[in-house]
A and B are shown apart, each in its own frame.
Chain A
């Protein structure tokens, strides 16, 4: 036996192997047939041997010859022999030969069944693998029937390699032996969610092919495939799934779209990702665009857009031609499609089409529902325009106008984005400045439109940019005086602090420009002095601001202006000097340009430029001034003597102190030694280089971000100081004045203990900031850094929501809508709403009843709760009896009579605001709603439950919204001219019903009268000519209300028109009431 085997292997050495055969055939090109016939004879000899290796070699050669077209069917049995070898090497060859040579009519296949079954259950996965592969080619119905069970078992094999082959071959089995489908299908379906992606894709393949043959049975799988389609990242699988949907198309309307389109689209995705330069991708683009325009199914659109975005990277031009199609997608109901389309647009813009695309987008902005999508549009517009350094913008005037238009968006969060763009463009594009300044001036003039009623809306950030641009480039202003006036309006004081600060600073710049203009003209010193006076009149509001930055700048500038006015009175020409304050051209500088400035030789940036002043000096200074004036109030009394003392010396000192702070504060960019301007970040516009203003006023109050640290340090110091306190009697005495007034209490005294200001060179520098500012700015009320508790105790004055300063006790302004207390309490005529007595510790002030512009059936009621007793009030619950027409909106799940919990407690003397939303059906009639407020008054030893009844009065006026008529009738911002026309047209249209009203005995000036109507009844003036004015307002449900107000001899006649006569009558009645009360 052994000898036999050895003989076989020796023979083998002389046998031709496949390579020899191939080479031989190539060498016998002339007599190929003859050569091959001798080879076949050899092979027949080899097949007669027992050695399996020799047989296998022969079979391998036969397989090759079979491919060349020679008949090898006579060797079928030998092939089966080789297949049956126990060794993988030969088995592999055997199965390959079988798969190539066997077909259904090959009778030896019958003999293989058992062998195949044995191989399928082999412990070696590769044995099983070759068996499955081979079987897939020559499976007959008999084999299918006999082996179906074995293969089904393999579908759950532990190795994914086998599972996926088994799953795929099941398809062939189903075809040959359809009865196997029913029992096998559940397992097949299971494989759709196999953890192995290969098996999963195999199952998708099989089911897709099955579904193509008989779609009806597979409809129920559609949801599963939808899920797979959204989760799978394998393009091959995606294509199969889409093919399946194509098959399901005629049966199910949900899936109903042309399947071939789907698969074309998805193949495109694979092509464009796999073969970026494949020429087919361009050709296929038309396929994408077709389904996009024809089909509405979101899957198709989504895939189409996805494909386009991929093609865009390689073939931008071919996608650009489908711009209109993509723009159409912006109208789609599905947000993900809209966003996808937006993404595409971003990449599609060119110089040529930018304006057009943005114009379309702007239209969408107007139409868009939901702030999220609108915000997304807004950012996209800005992204699109500003991409690659504004490369696609050819006309910056246009861009500025777009930005200005965007400011009209209600409730956007991206005010700062618009602002930064405005600044960026205005600074970097010199040619545009004149235009930009004009636009910004208009914005400033109409600031009230932007801020509206919500102070916290992000859009007011735009004013930051507007103010800065108008100030910095004020030489381009047509009427700087008017802009200056607009920037100093009292309403500015309601803007966020950082914006006010910019206002104040830029008012100063404007002031210098105005002075220049005025002094240039034939010297009319009076006009110049009036300008100064305007600033002197208006700035004190800012000096009292609770924002340190604003305070600081305002007080500084105020003094400067006072000094200037003094000089003016002596007929000294000051314009030039004032202008010098803000001299210097602002050049755009790259963000990293600073690094390129070399440090001059011999300069040590870490060394002191000026030795920091010793602590005791500033401490003394501080104490002296504090004694005099800490409150802003008192400032006016002390101003003159004090500020003449603000001489060079003190200014210099101030500067030094601040320099020292900055040097030690890691948040500051150190002053550049070169003359190069230093750019530093300003609040809110992080990316915009803003020139460092020459006053060395820090733009951020140092120390703010570290307030926690500060509290800790302060506590430590307090402990320490307690021990020292006795030694410091003298100091204490000096500060007694302060203590008595309850300003900051004994604790803040210690804040001014010996100065460890500048000597301490640590990172905790903010301490110094805290001490120096109150010391050096005696005009400020008090440092806001002091503990909140103290502040609450002393701040008896409340600033109310609508910035009506109440004068201590009762007079609260209410715009409209009232709360009437049902308790028999004396009600003064001016303020029937705020009722505060001992028995009534928590009066309500309805500050505002305001229609919701977005929803014609909603009214927001802001209620201010003020605790005027000495006890703590908690657990306030607010309830209103709903009427048929008006209902308090309660959270979901709450009953119609449940009360709403007011989300805060009130310590004594504190007031806070809560908002309640009411839904209103008809707005034609005024309404009163009864309500109760219950709360717990907590004193030291007891707590009592109390109740307060009130009435909410919804006037018709509260349904009106101050709407400048141009914003409705002609939304273009270049409005004024068109506005009158539109207003006139509205009146002529005949849709409006008229009504009129006469008021006798009005002896106030006409403009007061107009202001009252505007203020109390939410109107705006369209046009005023002498003693005649037209006014406009709009209800939350879109009714137009027009008034024509005329006055003569203490009689005022109001002719009014409105499309809702009932509403108009009531509004007129309310106007009448307003005037009868004064």
Chain B
């Protein structure tokens, strides 16, 4: 997979993940073009389209479009399946995920994606394992934050 984009019906980018090294300028151009192309398509149209030398696989979940670009030899159906799996993961993690969850916790959405895909390849196909890894990392983060807080409080009270 070359990259993944999440954008709203209004064309606002909500998440982007690039697995190929591209300059910011190129990235911007690609995402702008793609968002326009996909939003112009009617709901009953096919989920796959050929775009430049890539295959674009997209699917709309509520107000969000999930869009992936894969290479020519890659399989569209399994890409669709990857998108679906990612949505399932988000849904499990946030509990009935909505667009706002992803906007306000966009770093979490990235963390989940990074546990699921790595370098554009599926890394872990088990939903359970992905979520377990995220939970563990979150716990670790909380523990550190609490320790920091305690340290600050100690410093304040005991100079």
A residues sitting closer than 8 Å to B (CB atoms) are 2-3, 5-6, 9, 18-19, 22, 53, 60, 63-64, 67-69, 71, 73, 87-89, 92-93, 96, 99-100, 103-105, 124, 126, 129-130, 132-133, 136-138, 140, 161, 164-165, 168-169, 171-172, 197-198, 201-202, 205-206, 209, 212, 234, 236-237, 239, 243, 246, 260, 263-264, 267-268, 270-271, 274-275, 280, 284
Interface pair A5/B141, CB less than 8 Å apart: no
Q: How far is the CA of A236 from the CA of B79 in the complex (A)?
A: 11
Q: Which of A130, A171, A270 contacts B121 (CB 8 A)?
A: A171
Give the contact stretch, choosing among B17-25, B60-68, B90-98: B17-25
B144 at the interface (CB under 8 A from A): yes
Q: How far is the CA of A1077 from the CA of B137 in the complex (A)?
A: 101
Interface pair B81/A201, CB less than 8 Å apart: no
B159 at the interface (CB under 8 A from A): yes
Q: How far is the CA of A253 from the CA of B104 in the complex (A)?
A: 54
Interface pair A22/B129, CB less than 8 Å apart: no
17 contacts between A and B (CB under 8 A): A19-B104, A22-B104, A64-B106, A67-B16, A68-B13, A69-B13, A92-B137, A100-B18, A103-B22, A103-B24, A136-B118, A136-B119, A169-B119, A198-B123, A198-B126, A201-B122, A212-B73
Report the minimal beta-carbon distance from A480 to chain B, rounded to whole angstroms: 66
Q: How far is the CA of A5 from the CA of B153 in the complex (A)?
A: 11
Q: Which residue of B lies closest to A125 (CB)?
A: B136
Q: Which of B13, B21, B78, B152 contacts A270 (CB 8 A)?
A: B78
Closest 7 CB pairs of A and B: A267-B77, A136-B119, A133-B114, A89-B141, A168-B118, A104-B21, A236-B125
Residues on the A chain within 8 Å of B152, using CB: 5-6, 9
Q: Which residue of B lies closest to A247 (CB)?
A: B73
B107 at the interface (CB under 8 A from A): yes
Report the minimal beta-carbon distance from A296 to chain B, rounded to whole angstroms: 23
Q: Which of A3, A93, A137, A270 contacts B18 (CB 8 A)?
A: A137
Residues on the B chain within 8 Å of A71, using CB: 24
Interface pair A267/B118, CB less than 8 Å apart: no
Q: Which residue of B lies closest to A287 (CB)?
A: B77
B111 at the interface (CB under 8 A from A): yes
Interface pair B155/A2, CB less than 8 Å apart: yes
Interface pair B121/A206, CB less than 8 Å apart: yes
Report the minimal beta-carbon distance from A228 to chain B, rounded to whole angstroms: 15
Contacts A103-B23, A198-B124, A201-B122 given: A267-B106 contact, CB under 8 Å? no
Interface pair A5/B119, CB less than 8 Å apart: no
Q: Which residue of A lies closest to B149 (CB)?
A: A9
Q: How far is the CA of A263 from the CA of B81 in the complex (A)?
A: 13
Q: How far is the CA of A89 from the CA of B126 in the complex (A)?
A: 25
Interface pair A126/B140, CB less than 8 Å apart: yes
Q: Per-residue 0/1 for B9-44: is the Cβ within 8 Å of any A Cβ (1 yes, 0 no)?
A: 000011111110111100010000000000000000
Interface pair A243/B75, CB less than 8 Å apart: yes
Interface pair A205/B81, CB less than 8 Å apart: no
Contacts A9-B152, A96-B107 given: A168-B123 contact, CB under 8 Å? yes
Q: Per-residue 0/1 for B89-117: is the Cβ within 8 Å of any A Cβ (1 yes, 0 no)?
A: 00000000000000110110011001100
Report the minimal beta-carbon distance from A459 to chain B, rounded to whole angstroms: 49
- Which one of B14, B84, B124, B136 has the highest number of Cβ atoms from chain A below 10 Å of its Cβ? B124
Interface pair A239/B75, CB less than 8 Å apart: yes
Report the minimal beta-carbon distance from A277 to chain B, rounded to whole angstroms: 12
Residues on the A chain within 8 Å of B50, using CB: none
Q: Which of B22, B110, B111, B148 contacts A53 (CB 8 A)?
A: B148
B80 at the interface (CB under 8 A from A): yes
Interface pair B118/A133, CB less than 8 Å apart: yes
Contacts A67-B106, A234-B125, A267-B81 given: A88-B119 contact, CB under 8 Å? no
Interface pair A60/B136, CB less than 8 Å apart: no
Report the minimal beta-carbon distance from A282 to chain B, rounded to whole angstroms: 13
Interface pair A73/B21, CB less than 8 Å apart: no
In this complex, the interface size class of chain B, counting residues with CB under 8 Å from chain A, is: 35 or more
Report the minimal beta-carbon distance from B93 to chain A, rounded to whole angstroms: 15
Interface pair A198/B13, CB less than 8 Å apart: no
Q: How far is the CA of A140 from the CA of B148 in the complex (A)?
A: 35
Residues on the B chain within 8 Å of A201, using CB: 122, 125
Residues on the A chain within 8 Å of B104, using CB: 18-19, 22
Q: Which of A3, A104, A270 contacts B81 (CB 8 A)?
A: A270
Q: Which of A5, A6, A234, A239 contacts B78 (CB 8 A)?
A: A239
Interface pair B155/A5, CB less than 8 Å apart: yes
Q: How far is the CA of A970 from the CA of B123 in the complex (A)?
A: 64
Residues on the B chain within 8 Å of A260, using CB: 75
Contacts A88-B141, A89-B144 given: A236-B107 contact, CB under 8 Å? no
Q: How far is the CA of A133 from the CA of B121 in the complex (A)?
A: 12
Q: How far is the CA of A260 from the CA of B74 in the complex (A)?
A: 9
Interface pair B137/A88, CB less than 8 Å apart: yes
Interface pair A209/B77, CB less than 8 Å apart: no
Q: How far is the CA of A133 from the CA of B81 in the complex (A)?
A: 22
Interface pair A73/B24, CB less than 8 Å apart: yes
Report the minimal beta-carbon distance from A155 to chain B, rounded to whole angstroms: 14
Residues on the B chain within 8 Å of A130, using CB: 114, 137
Q: How far is the CA of A371 from the CA of B141 in the complex (A)?
A: 66
Report the minimal beta-carbon distance from B101 to chain A, rounded to whole angstroms: 12
Interface pair B148/A132, CB less than 8 Å apart: no
Report the minimal beta-carbon distance from A783 to chain B, rounded to whole angstroms: 67
Contacts A89-B141, A129-B133, A171-B121 given: A60-B13 contact, CB under 8 Å? no
Q: Knowing that A136-B119, A212-B73 are A-B contacts, what are 17 other residue pairs whose CB atoms are under 8 Å apart, sorted by A's residue number? A: A2-B155, A5-B152, A6-B156, A71-B24, A92-B137, A96-B107, A96-B110, A100-B18, A105-B23, A129-B137, A165-B123, A169-B118, A171-B119, A202-B121, A237-B125, A267-B81, A271-B81
Q: Which residue of A lies closest to B47 (CB)?
A: A280
Q: How far is the CA of A169 from the CA of B123 in the complex (A)?
A: 10
Residues on the A chain within 8 Å of B136, using CB: 126
Interface pair B125/A280, CB less than 8 Å apart: no
Q: Which residue of A lies closest to B156 (CB)?
A: A6
Interface pair A132/B118, CB less than 8 Å apart: yes
Residues on the B chain within 8 Å of A234, using CB: 125
Residues on the B chain within 8 Å of A280, using CB: 77, 80
Interface pair B107/A93, CB less than 8 Å apart: yes
Q: Which residue of A lies closest to B152 (CB)?
A: A9
Q: Which of B111, B121, B126 contacts A205 (CB 8 A)?
A: B121
Residues on the A chain within 8 Å of B73, using CB: 212, 243, 246
Report the minimal beta-carbon distance from B129 to chain A, rounded to whole angstroms: 7
Q: How far is the CA of A894 from the CA of B123 in the complex (A)?
A: 58
Q: Which residue of A lies closest to B77 (CB)?
A: A267
Q: Which residue of A lies closest to B132 (CB)?
A: A161
Interface pair B75/A274, CB less than 8 Å apart: no
Residues on the A chain within 8 Å of B121, using CB: 168, 171, 202, 205-206, 209
- Which one of B28, B126, B136, B152 has the highest number of Cβ atoms from chain A below 10 Å of its Cβ? B152
Q: How far is the CA of A5 from the CA of B159 in the complex (A)?
A: 12
Q: Which of A18, A99, A271 contacts B77 (CB 8 A)?
A: A271
Q: How far is the CA of A165 from the CA of B116 in the complex (A)?
A: 10
Residues on the B chain within 8 Å of A271, using CB: 77, 81
Residues on the A chain within 8 Å of B115, using CB: 133
Q: Which residue of A lies closest to B142 (CB)?
A: A89
Interface pair B75/A165, CB less than 8 Å apart: no
Residues on the B chain within 8 Å of A284, using CB: 77
Report the minimal beta-carbon distance from A269 to chain B, rounded to whole angstroms: 10
Q: How far is the CA of A99 from the CA of B145 in the complex (A)?
A: 23
Interface pair A92/B111, CB less than 8 Å apart: yes
Q: Which residue of B lies closest to A198 (CB)?
A: B124
Interface pair B15/A268, CB less than 8 Å apart: no
Interface pair A6/B118, CB less than 8 Å apart: no
Report the minimal beta-carbon distance from A311 to chain B, rounded to whole angstroms: 13
Interface pair A67/B81, CB less than 8 Å apart: no
Interface pair B15/A67, CB less than 8 Å apart: yes
Contacts A88-B141, A104-B21 given: A275-B84 contact, CB under 8 Å? yes
Report the minimal beta-carbon distance from B99 to chain A, rounded to whole angstroms: 12
Interface pair A88/B144, CB less than 8 Å apart: yes
Report the minimal beta-carbon distance from B79 to chain A, rounded to whole angstroms: 9
Report the minimal beta-carbon distance from B9 to chain A, rounded to whole angstroms: 15
Q: Which of B19, B28, B107, B156 contacts A18 (CB 8 A)?
A: B107
